[in-house]
Amino acid sequence: MSEANIHDVVILGSGPAGLTAAIYTARGNLKPLLLEGEPSSTGDQPGGQLMLTTEVENFPGFPQGILGPELMASLKEQAIKFGTTISTAKALKVDFSASPFSIRTSVSNEPIQTRSVIIATGAQALMLNVEGEERLLGHGVSACATCDGFFFRDQKVIVVGGGDSALEEAGFLSKFASSVTVVHRRKELRASKIMQERAMKNPKISFRYNAIVKELTGENKLEFVRIEDVETSLVEDVEAQGLFVAIGHAPNTELFKGQIELDQKGYVLTRNGTETSVPGVFAAGDVQDSKYRQAITAAGSGCMAALDVEHYLESSH
């Protein structure tokens, strides 16, 4: 492959981290190529988790709030304006064993060659994997209260999980639902004290501990949630129109196994900012952050990755 066909930087992912990295590397004249992913079979669009949200109220600079998809469209427009090439393609295989790195994609037989890579492939919600869940997804079952909570006005909903996300979802859902039951598999919640206190003060929220969801039933929409008490093994079918799964997230790193160091949960390990275990490969956003997981922190680390790429390319010339 001729030198002219080797990219300076390829960015994998089109959430706030990937697009911010694109804006910065494009302004740094690196002519980034960004692989934005492809629409999924369930209709999800490239653009990351913000494509699944409605109002984003905490992104600085938008005192009135902004819709998630609108924010992503603005970031994309800004990245293109400065010279980013965006390809609606998925990375299928990467080889980081030698530079230039190679990336096989869903749209070409020829692998892409690049001197540096920014991994910004994000994370996705974990699901329960119980009978009925997949069938009823979008018909009462959801992993995103901010996307779907509105549909459950005056209805009974269940939130599964005991972390901050579960309690945050429960609080949000209590604005619409007639009742919210948090079902948690242990006796102690994992969530922070302040979130616990807030949820416990909320008259619409109740808790069911030591409880596991076994099955979801309903013809075309959710009707009952089968819950087992782990201490007594008693099983009960609880009526609910909505079930929100909030049991954590998993990073999208399957592609990188064996190529760069990942932690026990599969998140990319970074050091000195956004460096991975392979010089020239950087990571930003939720794919390397299980803690903060905010649009603004993802965007911030996308900026850091772009600056790290610039320094890397300068020093390796």
C-beta closer to ligand NAP: residue 7 or 249: 249
C-beta closer to ligand NAP: residue 156 or 185: 185
C-alpha span between 52 and 147 (Å, rounded): 6
Binding mask 198-237 for ligand NAP (x = CB under 6 A): ----------------------------------------
Binding to ligand NAP by residue 149, rule CB under 6 A?
no
Angle at CA of residue 205, ends 143 and 292, nearest 5°: 45
Task: Indicate if 147 belongs to the active site.
Answer: yes
C-alpha span between 95 and 51 (Å, rounded): 29
Binding mask 104-123 for ligand NAP (x = CB under 6 A): --------------------
Q: Nearest distance from residue 250's CB to ligand NAP, in Å?
A: 10
Tokens matching residue 85? 């090439």
DSSP secondary structure string for all residues of 156-196: EEEEE-SSHHHHHHHHHHTTT-SEEEEE-SSSS--S-HHHH
C-beta closer to ligand NAP: residue 90 or 293: 293
C-alpha span between 136 and 215 (Å, rounded): 11
Task: Indicate if 8 belongs to the active site.
Answer: no
C-alpha span between 286 and 250 (Å, rounded): 9
Catalytic residue among 144, 164, 229, 303: 144
Catalytic residue among 8, 44, 95, 147: 147
- Alpha-carbon Rg for the chain in angstroms: 21
Among residues 165, 253, 276, 288, the one that binds ligand NAP under rule CB under 6 A: 165
C-alpha span between 66 and 44 (Å, rounded): 19
Pairing between β-strand 205-208 and β-strand 179-183 as defined by DSSP bridges: parallel
Binding to ligand NAP by residue 162, rule CB under 6 A?
yes
Using the 8-state DSSP alphabet, how is residue 24 labeled? H
Task: Indicate if 303 belongs to the active site.
Answer: no
Binding to ligand NAP by residue 164, rule CB under 6 A?
yes
Among residues 293, 296, 300, 307, the one that binds ligand NAP under rule CB under 6 A: 293
Positions in the binding site for ligand NAP (CB under 6 A)? 128, 160-166, 168, 185-186, 190, 247-249, 291, 293
Q: Which residues are marked as active site? A: 144, 147-148
